[in-house]
Structure 1
Amino acid sequence: MNLDEIWSPFLNQLATSNTVKSVSKKTITGIPFLYLTVNSDIIKAEIETLIKLEAAKCMRGKQLRMEYSFVREEKNLLVYRVRFLVPQEKMFCCGNLCPDCIRYRN
């Protein structure tokens, strides 16, 4: 699955929010970081709720889950590590007669 199909609408939705002034994604050593510049009167819990809500909208109908963690804060800048995770499923039969073998799916 191409995760750019999830990231683009996710970033666009965050950018159109009233509480966020600017949003950007930077990938450092393969880990995506979300940089949010917010209004000065917004608390961190509101931003985390907004992240979860917008991620849920973008993941609707797809087998994904989102994992995020707070990294740091500087004045009006909040940094989060955000990852969209694809479930690990077997895609082929390995021949070991596994109970969750792809051959047993409908």
Structure 2
Amino acid sequence: MKTDHERAIEIFHHELTNHPNFKQVEFKKVTGLPFVYLTAEEDISQKDIEVTLKVSAARAMRGKRLTLAMSYVRNDQALYVYRVRFLVPQRKMFCCGNLCDDCIRFTQP
């Protein structure tokens, strides 16, 4: 059984590889950080690429408790590189005594 994080990455990968704005999409991990290498069509601007990345990530995260961390790295002509990560929220491991709504005391094991 796959986690929400793994399913979101698969959906995101599928969305980008099938998108008409990109000729080629490659995912690489460098020093443990995920990077996306996008070869865009000639008439696509960087702003359009970022919008496409955000929309694809939103579709991948739909119904999951994930957030997007995306940053532009560099480009060379039609090749754009972005660092894209889906962050999983941290769960509390103990009661701090502040009567929080998400207190560990209220969760089922």
- Shorter-chain TM-score bucket reads 0.7 to 0.9
Which blocks of at least 5 consecutive residues in structure 2 are unaligned?
none
Q: How large is the Cα RMSD of the aligned pairs?
A: 1.8
Which amino acid counterpart does residue 5 of structure 2 have in structure 1? L
Partner of 2:87: 85
Following superposition, the deviation at residue 15 of structure 1 comes to 1.1
Which blocks of at least 5 consecutive residues in structure 1 are unaligned?
none
> When the two structures are superposed, what TM-score results if normalisation uses the length of structure 2?
0.85
% of aligned pairs identical? Answer: 40
Are the equivalent residues in 1 in contact too, given 2:71–2:84 (CA < 8 A)? yes
Partner of 1:65: 67
Following superposition, the deviation at residue 41 of structure 1 comes to 1.2
Aligned residues: 104
- Correspondence 1:34-45 to 2 at 5 A: 34-45=36-47
SS in 1 for 2:59: helix
Which amino acid counterpart does residue 76 of structure 1 have in structure 2? A
Larger mean CA deviation between 17-26 and 4-13 belongs to 4-13
Distance in 2 (CA, whole Å) between partners of 1:98 and 1:25 is 42
From 57, 61, 76, the counterpart of 1:74: 76
